[in-house]
Every structure is written in C-alpha cells, then in structure tokens.
Structure 1
C-alpha cells in the first residue's frame, strides 16, 4: 500500500493529533507525514512519530518567516493540512503552488479575512456590523461619530490580539498617536450591544452535522492578571433555537465547505443575531475537548478529513444525559515573575481537561492575547448554572507558585 504524503503545518505539538484512545489521526502505515512546526515543537517530537520534521517560524501576522515553497524544496505531497487559524492561508497558498487538492486562497479568505467574509455574508443577506477597512485609526472617525462606540481589529488577527474598543474621539486619537501594533491591514466596525456566543460545528457541504452553542461570560478586550475568559454551553430555550437557525443560515452561504467551523455571533439587545466572524477551523481554548465530550468526535479530526480527501462523519453521539452541559475557562497569571509550579490543582470527576502550558523556570509575561493563559480547564455539568459554578471552583482551587523577578 502506497502511503499518502501529507505536509502538516502545525502551531501545536504533534500529540494534539490523536483520538481519545491514543491512536493517531494519521496512521503511519497510511500516511507519510512531514511536519512543519515551531522549532520548540520539533525539538520535543519523539523519534519515529513522523517521517521528517522541518522547523517553521511564524510571525504574529500569520506570515511564515521563510516562504513555504523554499522549506518544501523538492519534496512531493499529495495533501497539505492545517488546522490553526494563522496557518490556513499559508496552507492554501502552498496547495496552489504544489497543485494539490484542497481549499485554495479564494475560499480560504472568506473564512479568514474579516473584511472579505463580512462582504460575502452580507451579500447573502446575513446581518453583519457596519464596517470599514482602515489603514490608520483616524479613518474610523466617521464610524465612531455614527455609533458612539466601535471596535478596531486586524483583518487577519487571531486570539483577540491587538483588538481595541474605542469609546470616544480622545481614545481614537490616542490610538492614532500610538499607531497599530502590526503591519497587518485593519478594519473598524460598529460595536454591537448585547451578548456574544460561539457556535462550533462539524460541517458537511455547508450543512452542520453536529453543533455546540456557547456563551462567553467575559470581555475579550484585555486579559488582566488574575483574570479569566469563560464560556459555557447554553441550555434549551429561545436563544438556542435562534442561534442554531442562524448557524444553519450562515453555513448555507458556504455550501462548498466541509470540516470544522467556529462562528462568533452576537445577540443584540433585542435578541437578534448579528454575525461577528466565521473561522473554517476548530475553536481554541477548551472547545475541542468539550466538543469531543458532547459529540464523540474531534473538531481537529473533522477539520483534517476533507483536507486529505475523506468525508466528515455523518453521525455523532449525543451528549451524556446526566451531565450534558460543558464549559471552559482560560485563567491568566496572578502576577508576573518566574513560574515555579502549582501548589494546588483542582481534581474532580467533572473536570474533563486541565492544561498548564508553563514549565518551571519559565518567565511569565503579561498576557496580550486570549491564549496567554497559565491554565485552561474544561468541565461538565447538568446545566449551565452548575458548569459556571464548577468553573469558579477550578479557579478558586488553583494555587500558583511564582518568584518575583
């Protein structure tokens, strides 16, 4: 049997590409994997896990430091795979360069570029915030005058990095003097008064096969020391019905898409859905863990399948009847310093994930984006109230040991 040659572009460790039973997403007898990853992930890779590994530096803008075709050289591939947001466009460009199947840049931009996606979904009749592309903050003044509060963000941004909520002209002028943090293109859009949700789906030809609908409980504007970002699945009721229908309508506008989708959506102060953005990839934080718990399928695996010419699953399991609700929390460092370890960590049967990315001796820096957490936890419960209580219990029981520097 000839193994299929896969270029895997990854911004997470290779251990992420496994089923719950530990078996790999890419069985070695079926796939010849070349892993393009951060140097630190390459250094930690156990021998024999992949055919070859090539270090790849990625700028915050999502651009690869060395062009991928130069890294590929004379290697031949049947498929190019990427599951993280900042790697979707590099993967699409590499497919086109190599002439292999899979989603190209035209479709990828609609799931990555915040201006292109709003234009596309607005043309399909989806309500989106009023927006305008800008190259400098002052160009958003007319939008600020109209709405009184706006959001300014990078067009290709991720993990809420360099997002600004502007509430008056003085804040806008301060941002003008300060300048943007990156060379990425930017956009400004009206601030939507209401609640924010994320809807995560396994999608087959624009039709959701499995869906989880969750509400954010915390702001994404800043990530203070000892702060947190939380989310929980919502209970049955009118909000769930509205958001499920909105998700179906949005996905119906991309009937060429299969894989994992992460929809960010608002319910405004009148309960009407407003599109925020749509990613053609799994959500971060505890989303894949909680989705696996509820539906028995990985969003990462569902994202990979269409990229290697295989269909996404038609059937998934239902959430456990006694504890169907889930939630996750990203907990930010209590202070700055050198991380020594945890003096105490929560332990409970309802704790389905606890990830602690820092290692003893590492310097803890001030969080700048959503993923700069000292711990990520996921829990289950009988309903949203119990989930929220358990998320609080996780944070209360976690004791971090740090040395000031």
Structure 2
C-alpha cells in the first residue's frame, strides 16, 4: 500500500496524536509524516514514527515561510490544529496545490473582522465593531456603547485584549500603543454571560456539541486567580445555545473538523456571536469533550485534513457523571518555581497538567495559557463540577521563592 504523505505543522509533541489505547493518529504503515515542530518536540520523536523532521519557530507563525522550509518535497495533505498555525497551513496547501481548506475559508475562522462580516451577512447577531489602526479611532464606538473591547484581529490566548470603559482609559491605551504588529478591532461590549460551545462538525452540521459557561473573566490573569467553565445542565439556555451553534455552523456548510464558538447571552437572554475558531478548544476542553461524547476534538480536527469523515463517537460518559468543567489556575506569587508540594488526586479528576519545572521563572501571566495547572473534572451536574474545581485549586501546593 502506498503511504500518504503528510506535512504536520505541530505545536505539541508527537505523542499527543494518540488514541486512548495508545495507537497513533498517523499509523506509520499508512502515513509518511514530515513533522514541522519546535526542536524540543522533534527531539522527543521515537525512531520510525515520522519520516522527516524540520525544526520550526512555532511561536512566530505569522512569519512562517513553510513552502521554503519543505523545499521541493511533495505532499498529499497538510495538517495543523493550533489556532495560530491555521493560516500558515492554508497558505502551504495553496503553494503545494494540495486539497483542503484554503486561505479564504480559513480567514472566516481566524480573522475577527472577516468572520463578523460573514456571519452578520448571514443573519447572525454580532457585536457592532470596526477595524482600527490606533485606539483613538474607537472613540465614537465608545460614545455609543459606554464600554468596548479592543483586541488583535488574529489574536489568540486572550493576549493584548483591552476592556475600555471611558475616554481616559482609551487615551492611556492610545499613548501606550498596541503590543503587537497585528491589525486591531474594537467592538461593542456585550453585557451578559459568556459561553463556549465546542463541536465536532461534518459539513457544517455538529455531530456532537458541548455548551459551557465561563465563571471568570478571561481578559486578565491575576496571581492566585483562575479561569473556569462548566457544561450547562439541561434547560432552556442549553437548548437556545445549541440551536445558535447550529445556525452559526450552518453559515459555513463547507467546514468539517473541530469548532470552538464563543458566544454571549445578553441581558435579554438573546445569543450574540463573539468569535469562532476552526480548531479544538484549549485548556481542558479536549479531555472534557472526549469524556462526555467519546469523541476527540483533536482527532476530529485532523480527519478532514486527511480527506476523511469526522467520526460519530465512542463510549460516552457514565450516566452519573455527564457534567464536565475545566480550570486554568495561575501562580500565587512571582519568583522562582521550586516544585509542586501537593497535587490533588480523585477518580473524577480527568486531567491535571502541571507545566512548571524546578528553576522556571514565575512571571506575570500575559496569556490565558500561562497557568500553573490545568484541570478537567466530571460530576453529576454543574454544581458538583464547580465544587470539584474549587477542591482542585485548594489541593495544589507549590513552593515559589522570591527573587
């Protein structure tokens, strides 16, 4: 059998691409994988897993010259699953002339201005917005709504997101300037509750979906703080947001893969679009979704990029543990990390990721992902999930020495 040639642009180690039974998403007898990744991830690859390794500065994807990196190599498929890598992967497909999602489609899932224009034109309610090259251009929008959000058009991880509540704040931001080189947009602040809706999608139709409510702001990341969400229990809000999710995805009937929709319910209980990502959600979403639906969002993201259909599902959550939630817990203080002194353990703790290593500097978190720990839990309902997330945070003990 002729193996299919895959260019995999990866932000994680290759062993992440495994099923629960340990088998690889890319069996070596079916796929000849060229792995483009950070050198430290390439060093972890076992012999025979991939055909070729190419070191890449994944942390600067806007400048990724992928066609130059792969040279004259030929591929059947190009695969990427991380938000900031979707556009570079789309450009590589076009440069190589291989099938798959191109730049024009990817912009609707990546460019916050392009996506709002598209979904608004299809009848989806979006916040009023405008593209700005400097903060002062948003003064009229601030006058109309009293509070606005200013953020990068291609932003990820809540980096450089600004909540502006008055003209003094806007002028301070004007003097400070934007942190990145990206384009920026300003949009109406929606008062209400915020949710994320995660889906495995086949041709614009969700195969499975989970609706979760955020419990914390995810524009700032205070020391000893956290960001949490939990799945909604059955009820009118769940049904309304599932229907809204179906309507949004129906506007991109060509899309298959994993989708991460951010949405609001305003003070009148009406859904409002925030943004849509054509990739798996971060934090503990992959683990929680797989527990609830028996489907990996990561694998669901990969399958269409290999010309295959998204799977219908697998073993689902136990009837007494259908609810899930996750948290990102931030360091209690700055300094030098020495170690985790205590970590919680429980059969309802689905995931506990502890990224810090002894000797690491502990600096003020700048992105939502700059966490001391990431947890995912399950329970019988939302209330139990929230209690268990609190128990996880209490159970994490660390030593950080001042500098």
TM-score (norm 2): 0.98
Q: Which residue of 2 aligns with 1:116?
A: 114
Q: CA deviation at 1:316?
A: 4.6
Per-residue CA deviations over 1:207-243 (Å, capped at 9, x if unaligned) read 0000111000000111011110001001000100100
Q: CA deviation at 1:145?
A: 0.4
Q: CA deviation at 1:335?
A: 1.1
Between 1:145-154 and 1:7-16, the stretch displaced more is: 7-16
Matches within 5 A, 1:229-378: 229-378=227-376
Could you tell me how far apart the structure 1 residues matched to 2:400 and 2:72 are?
47
| The one of 134, 137, 140 aligned to 1:139 | 137
Could you tell me how far apart the structure 2 residues matched to 1:128 and 1:316 are?
35
Could you tell me how far apart the structure 1 residues matched to 2:266 and 2:96 are?
44
Q: CA RMSD in A?
A: 1.0
Per-residue CA deviations over 1:177-212 (Å, capped at 9, x if unaligned) read 000000100000000000000000000010000011
Matches within 5 A, 1:42-191: 42-59=42-59, 62-65=61-64, 67-191=65-189
Residues 370, 83 of structure 1: CA spacing in aligned structure 2 closer, same or farther, 3 A cutoff?
same
Q: CA deviation at 1:317?
A: 4.5
Judge conservation of contact 1:58–1:64 (CA < 8 Å) in 2: no
Q: CA deviation at 1:282?
A: 0.3
Could you tell me how far apart the structure 2 residues matched to 1:128 and 1:118 are?
6
| The one of 380, 383, 389 aligned to 1:382 | 380
SS, match of residue 63 in structure 1:
helix
Could you tell me how far apart the structure 2 residues matched to 1:123 and 1:316 are?
36
Could you tell me how far apart the structure 1 residues matched to 2:313 and 2:107 are?
29
Q: CA deviation at 1:59?
A: 4.3
Q: CA deviation at 1:339?
A: 1.5
Could you tell me how far apart the structure 2 residues matched to 1:315 and 1:254 are?
22
Could you tell me how far apart the structure 2 residues matched to 1:302 and 1:279 are?
14
Per-residue CA deviations over 1:116-165 (Å, capped at 9, x if unaligned) read 00000000000000000000000000000000000000000001000000
Gaps of 5+ in 1: none
Could you tell me how far apart the structure 2 residues matched to 1:284 and 1:247 are?
18
Could you tell me how far apart the structure 2 residues matched to 1:110 and 1:30 are?
32
Judge conservation of contact 1:36–1:55 (CA < 8 Å) in 2: yes
Could you tell me how far apart the structure 2 residues matched to 1:368 and 1:46 are?
33
Judge conservation of contact 1:231–1:327 (CA < 8 Å) in 2: yes
Judge conservation of contact 1:286–1:328 (CA < 8 Å) in 2: yes
Q: Does 1:33 align with 2:25?
A: no
Q: Which residue of 2 aligns with 1:21?
A: 21
Could you tell me how far apart the structure 1 residues matched to 2:2 and 2:336 are?
49
| The one of 385, 396, 399 aligned to 1:398 | 396
SS, match of residue 94 in structure 1:
helix
Could you tell me how far apart the structure 2 residues matched to 1:18 and 1:370 are?
25
Could you tell me how far apart the structure 2 residues matched to 1:304 and 1:267 are?
31
| The one of 195, 209, 212 aligned to 1:211 | 209
Q: How many residues align?
A: 403
Judge conservation of contact 2:291–2:316 (CA < 8 Å) in 1: no
Could you tell me how far apart the structure 2 residues matched to 1:294 and 1:260 are?
15
Could you tell me how far apart the structure 1 residues matched to 2:93 and 2:330 are?
37
Judge conservation of contact 1:210–1:316 (CA < 8 Å) in 2: no
Per-residue CA deviations over 1:54-94 (Å, capped at 9, x if unaligned) read 1111345x4134x1111101211110000000000000000
Gaps of 5+ in 2: none
